[in-house]
Every structure is written in structure tokens, then in C-alpha cells.
Amino acid sequence: MTSFLKPENALKRAEELINVGQKQDALQTLHGLITSKRYRAWQKTLERIMFKYVELCVDMRKGRFAKDGLIQYRIICQQVNVSSLEEVIKHFMHLSTEKAEQARSQAQALEEALDVDDLEADKRPEDLMLSYVSGEKGKDRSDRELVTPWFKFLWETYRTVLEILRNNSKLEALYAMTAHRAFQFCKQYKRTTEFRRLCEIIRNHLANLNKYRDQRDRPDLSAPESLQLYLDTRFEQLKVATELELWQEAFRSIEDIHGLMCIVKKTPKASLMVLYYSKLTEIFWISSSHLYHAYAWFRLFLLQKSFNKNLSQKDLQLIASSVVLAALSVPPHDHTRGASHLELEHEKERNLRMSNLIGFNLETKPESREVLSRSSLLAELVSKGVMSCVTQEVKDIYHLLEHEFLPLDLSVKVQPLLTKISKLGGKLSTASSVPEVQLSQYVTALEKLATMRLLQQVSNVYQTMKIETLAGMIPFFDFSVVEKISVDAVKHKFVSMKVDHMRNVVIFCKTNLESDGLRDHLANFAEHLNKARQMIYPPDRKPSKIGALLPSLTEVVEKEHKRLLARKSIIEKRKEEQERQLLEMEREEESKRLRLQKITEEAEQRRLANEYEQRKNQRILREIEEREMEEAQALLQEAEKRIKKKGKKPIIEGEKLTKQTLMELTLTEQLRERQEMEKKLQKLAKTMDYLERAKREEAAPLIEAAYQKRLVEERLLHEREQQQEIEVSKQRHEGDLKEKERLSRMMDNKEIYQEKVVSRRQAEFNRLRREREERISRILQSRRQEREKMRKLKFYLRLEEERQQKLHEEEEARKREEAERRKKEEAERLAKLAEIAEKQRQRERELEEKEKQRREALLGRTSEAAMKPTEPPPRPLDSGSTAPAAAAAAPTPGKYVPKFRREGATAAAPPENDRWTNPSSRLDGDKWRSDDRRPAFGAGGGSRSSSSWSSSRRGSDR
């Protein structure tokens, strides 16, 4: 970073860089100068540098640089000239606003310039592509490219200025002005997100102001001017929040205003409080908090009546009517009935909070929970004389809905009054903070109230009623809406009823014996019955107390024991709670002690640092004084030397003189020497003047004589040159006459030649023109033929494309038909093959049947032939041991006999009957085995041997 001896040099360097287009380097130069610790003393040059610095920051949209520079400049001029900082910040905001407005007007002008005059002209391809790719209109794109960056920078400017000016008592007015301009910016351009952030920023600034009370330049909120500025800012915030319909932010602004009033413990002016309550009415109405809305209207009425002396009777009547109608719009049932303990606590806290906002101070006792209620508000209206100020229609509807019992005629009498009330209202002439009052907004709530009153009164008279009759009695709503209203009323135990849609009736039932209509009657009836019983059966005069107490003594002891145990547990819990509280208190005291110790240590460190700084400053001042004394001593010695050289007597003594005296003596000596030097110079100048005048007097006649001589010489030279010029001119004229006479003989030939050349060039020109026309006609003809050829070619190509398309479609249709035909032939072939296979299987089954019959016949004959040679010869009966063995060895016809049982039969059997050695019998056995295995593969599949046989059979058939 380049260092400058003077700030003016840095400013000149920055201007030179700006002139050559290097704004970034100029900004870096000024930023380095501002942030340097070398220039901490304020001077006018720094203000000019800051003006140039903020201009560069705005031109280049460098918000971070601007914030850094303004913070450094605030450090420089906070204690010296704070108005300079104010001027720089105002200039900064003015430039940012001007740039944003310029960008906005430029975007608007660009949008107007882009309007196309020719509505039939086609769009350019690049415009179409850009519109399809970006997906946005021209205005949105221009806003995004031109306006949005400057608006972002303007918003960043407001945030930077608020951050720099926060909690600064010397710039409170500028802080308030910046906040107001930021609010107007959000309002003008509908910036809801930025408005929320702005409110949060201002809220945090106030919280930090209350948190750090030992700040050096902290504003004093107890001062009237500071309080008024802070309140004006919050009220402006409230106005903008309601205009932007940010109701949650508006309610938080109300809480900010109330918190500010609680901090300073001072009520603002009546005009601001009227605005406060008017905005509260809007917020509570939007949030459907009708009770708090009515209380806010009541407070607004009291303020207007007390402080607005110019309030006309008509305006007062409208405001009073709004108060009464708002109170009547509150639902008549109790929302807290049947609620849990937690809900009741929440409702109590909410009532306490809202009452503080509205201005009614509630106590935190349980019995004061019902202070904010509909009944208490109506009683307040009557006691404060509000009912005497309202219109006649409002009075009538109040008496009808609150004091009359007309279950059949209530809606008939209420409806015309509601029609008249909906037409009342208008602008107020004197209540500036309440511009207009419209009573039509309460008509819907009053219709619901009339419906609930009618249901309540009808339930006291009737037990059942048809739905058509009840719907006819309530002309305000359809029965579906009436049913919803009745559900809400039943839920809060305002009325007890059921709707039976099957019987098409409404049933009014008294399920609660403690209802409002029967509570007093049942209590009085029970009291009278008790008196009558005592008169008929008077009690005994002296009953035995011990006899009465003995039966219940055990229960009393047990109950007392349980009570004592419960009390003991409660005491233990209380002890534990007290110990916990003591521990908490000890912990808090310890934390407080640590904080105080830390604060003390920090204060001690600050004190030591301050003492060190003071000693350092004193040492520096002492060194400066010593250095100045040495310089003065040196000046004195030098002056004495000069005086001694001149032979004068020194009249000063250095030991007895102070620094100031030495400086004065030195300056006096210097002044005297300067005067002597001036006198010498004046004497020398006078002498030089005399000498110069004498020289000029002596040279004057010599100069005159030389001048006269020069005039004579120049006159002779002029005459001689003029005579020579005359002679040369005569000779040139004679030569020209001779040349003219010589050339005059060629004039006829020249004209003939000229005519030839002109005629030849005219013929050449005509020839070239004809050739050009013929060439142009040939080009036009060729272009015409080319266009005709291209049209024919395009027509042929289009016909060819259509023909190719038609051929392609025909080919596709032919392929589809071919595929369908092949599919049909394949299906037919498969059907034929299936039929042939079925016939083949049928033939195989017939062959198998025949083979089976033949095999059975063959096996039958073989078994018979085998049985005959193995029959044993008859033996006598006494040989009992061999007879059973022979009987057991004899095979049974048609039954399988194992080999070890038929040894004798096998030995006696002829060799040709052995099926393992006889080829014919082995073949028969193979057939038998193949026949036995075939059914295992299923009826449709066949065996491997049968399939091979059938395939060989088909081959032989072919």
C-alpha cells in the first residue's frame, strides 16, 4: 500500500486513477488512507476524501467497502466533528437512492422502447429463443438485470447506516430518518421480507441499548427528544406493517411500543395513543379476538372524548356505536368453561398480557381472571355513559339482544335494525388517526349473536321443534350454518340441544341441573324443604356426642392419619423445594459475585490502561517540550553568533529566558535582519534604475541615425527590384502573343478531333449500356428460370415424399397382412400337427392294447406250461416233514415266486422257458418292461421309445 505524506496527495492520486478509468485502484487507495492509523485527527480534507470514497463505492456497488470506511470515519470524527459523519452518511444514502431510481426509470424506459409499433411484424429468432429459455417477460428480465442489483445495494445501504448509527446519542435524528426512509422503501416496493428483517434489526438495537447501559455514547431514553424519536420510529413501523397487511409484525410493533413505554414509564402524546389503539382494533379484528377488539375501541373512545376537543357530535356518535357493536360482537358464551387447568393458566396469562397492551391493569390473583369479559365490558359501557352517545338503532339492538325475551319475534325485529346499521358509517372529519368508521363489519357477528340468543330463548320455552320452523325463525343463515353455530354453543354449554335429522326435529334438553335457569329455583326449593323438615321433625336438644362419634372414630383416625401423612409429604416437598431454591440463590449469588469480580477486574485493567496512557502522554509531552527547548537554545546561540559577528553586544542571557521568550527574541531578530535586507535591496534597485536610464539616454541618438540610414538603403533596393519586374513582365507578354499566333492555326483540327473523340466515346457508352441491359435481362431470366426450377423441384420432392410415404404405408400394411397370414398358417399347421399327433397317439394306444392282450395271453400259457412239470409226485401221509415243503415250493398260478423258493421248479423247467436265455422270451420281456414304463410319462407325452418309434414311422411314411 502506498503511503502519502498528506491526505490531499491521496485524493489527487485517486482522481488521476478515476480519469484513466481505474476506479478499483482509486477505491483501494482511498480505503488504505481511511483505514490507516496515521490519519486519526479529523480535518476537512478527510471529509472531501470520504465524499469521493462513498461516490466510488456507490458507482461500483461495493457495500462492504462503504461500511468499513464509514466505521473508520466514525472513529475519527465521533468526538471532534460528528456533523461531518452525518453529512457523509446523508450523501451516501442520497447517491444510493438516486442510483436505484435511475435504474428503475431506465428499466421503465427500456420497457417502453421495446414496445413494437408494427403488430404484424414477426419476432426475431433470438428474441423467441431467449423468451423460451428464460421463461420470463421483458419487464421481469430488465428488472432482474438493471433494477434488482441497485435495490439490493440500496437495502444494504440502509442496513449499513443503521448499524453504524445504532445507540449513538449524537446521531439519533439521523438514525430515525434512516429508519423512516427504510420503512418507506419497503412500503413503496412491497418488500415484506426486508420489512420483517428491518423490524428485527431495530428491535435488536433497542435490546442492546438496554443491555449495555455503561456504553459511552448511549442515548438517554428519559430525555423527551430521544423518547419522541424512538416512539415516532415505532409508530411509523406500525403504520407500514398495517399497510403491508403484516399483522403479526404489526402486533410485535405494538408490543415494542408498549415495552418502550414501560421502560421510560411515560405515556406518549394523545395523538400517538389514538393511533396506537386504532391499529390495535384492526389487529384484534383480523385475529378474531373480538373481546380485545371491543376493549381497544373502548379505550379509543375514551381518548377521543377526553383529548379531542374538536370532535363533532356525529363523529362521537359513530365511535360510540362502534364500541357498543364491538362489545355485542363478542360471543356470549364462556370459552374457559370445561377447560383444563393448563388452559386456564394460559388464558389467564393471555388476559394479563392483552390487558397490559390495551391499558387495563389486571392483578395476578385467581379471582381477577374474569375482569376482561363481555359482561364487565357492557357494564363499563353503561357506567361510562357510552350508551347515551350511540345512535337509536344501536340502542334498540342492544336492548333486543341483551334484555328482551322474544323467542319468536327476535329475528324479525333484529333484521331491519341490522339493515340500517350496515348503512351507517363513513369518514371522520376531526379524528385524524381514525380516518373512517364502518359499522357494516359487525353485521355478521350480530347475526350470529341473534341466532344464539334465539336458540337460548327457544330452549327455555320449547322441548322439541321442527327444523323447518326453526329455520324459518332464523332468516340470517341456512340451517347448515345454524347447525354449526349451535354446535359451537353446545360445546361451550351456552345452550343444550340436539338435532334429529331422522325425525326432522330439534330437541332442547336440560341435561344439567345446575343450569342458569334452574340454579336459583332449586336452591330456594331445597332451603324451604329443609325448614319444613325441621319444623315437622325438630332435632333433639341434647344428643349424645360420644355415642355419635364412636362408630365413626376409626374412620376419623384413619382419615387423620392419611391427612398427616399427606401433610408430612407436602412438608418434605416444601423443604426440598426450599433447599433447591436456596441452592439456586447461592448459585445466583456466586454467579453475581463472579460477575462483579470480573467487572471489578475489568475496571481495574481499564484504570491501569488509562494510567499507562496518561503516563505515556505526559512523557511524550515532556519530550516534546525538551526538544522544543533545545531548538530554541540552538536558535538563541545562532542569534548570538550573528550578533557577535556584526560587532554588536549581546543583550540576552539564555539561562534567564523561557522558551517563549527565546522564540520571540529569535523571531524579532529574524524580522530585523529581514527588514535590513529589504532596505539594501531597495537601495540597490534604485542604483540600477539610474544606471539603466543613463545608458538609454546615451544610446538614443545612435539608434535614430542607424534607422535613417536603413530607410535610405531599403528605398533604393525597392526601386531597383520594381524596375526589374516591369522589364520581365514585358518580355513574358511578347512571348505569349507569339505562342497564341502560332497555336491559332490548329483550332480547326482540334475541333474535328474533339468531335471524333466525343462521337466514339458516345458509341462506346451506348454499346456498354446495351450490353449491360442485355446482361441484366439474362440474369433476370436465369433467376426466373432458377426459381421456376426450384419450385418444380420442391413440388417433385413433395410428390416423391408423398409417394414414398404411401409406398411405405402400403409396405407396412403388406407386411402386417403377411405376418397375419403366416400366423394363421402357423396356427393351421400346428392344429394339423396336433391332429396328426392325436391320431398317432390313438394308434399307439390301440397297438398297446393289442400288445397287452397278446402278452397276457402269452403269459397265461407260459404259466400253465411251467406248472405241469413241477408238480411233485404223490407221497405217503407219514412223510409230514417233506409235504409242507413241497406244498410251499409249489408256485401258485398268477403269483410271483422268488428264486430261492422255486429252485426245484427252475431245475425241472425246460431250458426254452428261461426268459433270460431265450432270445424270444428276452424280447418279450423287453417289450413288457417298455410297456410297463410307458404310462409313467403321462398320456400326452409318451415314452422315449414310443416317440422314437413314431418318428421312425413317420419317416417311413414319407
Kindly indicate the confidence band of residue 145, based on its pLDDT and cuts at 50, 70 and 90.
Answer: low
pLDDT surpasses 50 at 152: yes
Mean pLDDT throughout 412-438?
Answer: 76
Mean pLDDT throughout 433-461?
Answer: 83
How far apart are alpha carbons 768 and 430 in whole angstroms?
96
Q: pLDDT > 90: what percent of the chain?
A: 15
Kindly indicate the confidence band of residue 597, based on its pLDDT and cuts at 50, 70 and 90.
Answer: confident
Mean pLDDT throughout 798-813?
Answer: 93
How far apart are alpha carbons 856 and 321 in whole angstroms?
123
pLDDT surpasses 90 at 397: no
What is the model's pLDDT at position 908?
Answer: 44
**Tens digits of per-residue pLDDT, 846-866?**
999 999 898 888 887 655 555
Mean pLDDT throughout 66-79?
Answer: 81
* Of 49, 150, 46, the residue nearest 96 (C-alpha): 150
Task: With residue 839 as reference, give the H or E element that holds it.
Answer: helix 747-867
What is the model's pLDDT at position 263?
Answer: 76
Kindly indicate the confidence band of residue 137, based on its pLDDT and cuts at 50, 70 and 90.
Answer: very low
What is the model's pLDDT at position 911?
Answer: 45
**Tens digits of per-residue pLDDT, 714-736?**
999 999 999 999 999 999 999 99
Q: Lowest mean pLDDT of 184-188, 225-229, 649-653, 747-751, name the range.
A: 649-653
The total number of residues written for the chain in this structure: 958
**Tens digits of per-residue pLDDT, 494-539?**
888 888 888 888 888 765 444 555 556 677 788 888 888 888 887 7
**Strand pairing category for 505-508 and 497-500:** antiparallel
What is the model's pLDDT at position 711?
Answer: 92
Mean pLDDT throughout 83-101?
Answer: 84
Top pLDDT among 645 and 196 is at: 196
What is the model's pLDDT at position 96?
Answer: 85
Q: Lowest mean pLDDT of 297-301, 331-335, 648-652, 695-699, name the range.
A: 648-652
| Helix ranges (DSSP H) in 114-223 | 125-134, 138-142, 148-165, 172-188, 192-211
What is the model's pLDDT at position 545?
Answer: 52
Top pLDDT among 474 and 79 is at: 474
What is the model's pLDDT at position 826?
Answer: 93
- Grid cell in block for residue 237: 413501523
Q: Lowest mean pLDDT of 370-379, 446-455, 582-591, name the range.
A: 370-379
What is the model's pLDDT at position 65?
Answer: 84
What is the model's pLDDT at position 733?
Answer: 93
What is the model's pLDDT at position 931?
Answer: 43
Kindly indicate the confidence band of residue 659, based on its pLDDT and cuts at 50, 70 and 90.
Answer: low
Radius of gyration of the chain (CA): 63
pLDDT surpasses 60 at 617: yes
Top pLDDT among 748 and 934 is at: 748
Mean pLDDT throughout 400-422?
Answer: 85
What is the model's pLDDT at position 273?
Answer: 83
pLDDT surpasses 70 at 671: yes
Kindly indicate the confidence band of residue 644, based on its pLDDT and cuts at 50, 70 and 90.
Answer: low
Top pLDDT among 707 and 169 is at: 707
pLDDT surpasses 70 at 751: yes
CB proximity list for 352: less than 8 A, separation 6 or greater:
362, 364
What is the model's pLDDT at position 418?
Answer: 85
Kindly indicate the confidence band of residue 886, based on its pLDDT and cuts at 50, 70 and 90.
Answer: very low
The count of other CB atoms within 10 Å of the CB of residue 696 is 10
pLDDT surpasses 80 at 394: yes
Q: Let me know: does 437 contact 318? Beta carbons within 8 Å.
A: yes
**Tens digits of per-residue pLDDT, 182-230?**
888 888 888 888 888 988 888 888 888 777 766 666 777 777 788 888 8
CA 289 to chain centroid, in Å, comes to: 28
**Tens digits of per-residue pLDDT, 533-560?**
888 887 765 545 555 555 667 777 888 8
Q: What is the DSSP string of 773-831?
A: HHHHHHHHHHHHHHHHHHHHHHHHHHHHHHHHHHHHHHHHHHHHHHHHHHHHHHHHHHH
Kindly indicate the confidence band of residue 957, based on its pLDDT and cuts at 50, 70 and 90.
Answer: very low
Kindly indicate the confidence band of residue 836, based on its pLDDT and cuts at 50, 70 and 90.
Answer: very high
CA 890 to chain centroid, in Å, comes to: 110
Mean pLDDT throughout 638-652?
Answer: 61
What is the model's pLDDT at position 819?
Answer: 93
What is the model's pLDDT at position 880?
Answer: 41
**Sequence letter at residue 452:** M
DSSP 8-state code for residue 262: H
How far apart are alpha carbons 175 and 208 in whole angstroms?
15
pTM: 0.50
What is the model's pLDDT at position 113?
Answer: 43
HEC-encoded secondary structure of 409-474: CHHHHHHHHHHHHHHCEEECCCCCCCCEEEHHHHHHHHHHHHHHHHHHHHHHHCCEEEHHHHHHHC
Q: What is the DSSP string of 677-726?
A: HHHHHHHHHHHHHHHHHHHHHHHHHHHHHHHHHHHHHHHHHHHHHHHHHH
Q: Lowest mean pLDDT of 440-444, 688-692, 807-811, name the range.
A: 440-444
The count of other CB atoms within 10 Å of the CB of residue 634 is 12
pLDDT surpasses 80 at 389: yes
What is the model's pLDDT at position 895?
Answer: 52
Q: pLDDT > 70: what percent of the chain?
A: 75
Top pLDDT among 673 and 772 is at: 772
How far apart are alpha carbons 529 and 531 in whole angstroms?
5
What is the model's pLDDT at position 457?
Answer: 86
**Sequence letter at residue 318:** L
What is the model's pLDDT at position 795?
Answer: 94
CB proximity list for 245: less than 8 A, separation 6 or greater:
none
Top pLDDT among 14 and 887 is at: 14
Q: Let me know: does 92 contact 58? Beta carbons within 8 Å.
A: yes
How far apart are alpha carbons 34 and 70 in whole angstroms?
9
**Tens digits of per-residue pLDDT, 904-955?**
444 444 444 444 444 444 434 444 444 444 444 343 444 444 444 444 444 4
pLDDT surpasses 60 at 655: no
**Strand pairing category for 425-427 and 464-466:** unpaired
How far apart are alpha carbons 486 and 494 in whole angstroms?
9
How far apart are alpha carbons 839 and 775 in whole angstroms?
92
894-910 as b/e: b if 16+ CB within 10 A: eeeeeeeebeebeeeee
Q: Lowest mean pLDDT of 3-12, 205-214, 664-673, 745-754, name the range.
A: 3-12
How far apart are alpha carbons 640 and 634 in whole angstroms?
10
Highest mean pLDDT among 466-470, 645-649, 662-666, 784-788: 784-788
DSSP 8-state code for residue 656: G
**pLDDT averaged over every residue in the chain:** 77
pLDDT surpasses 90 at 788: yes
**Tens digits of per-residue pLDDT, 38-59?**
667 677 778 888 888 888 888 8
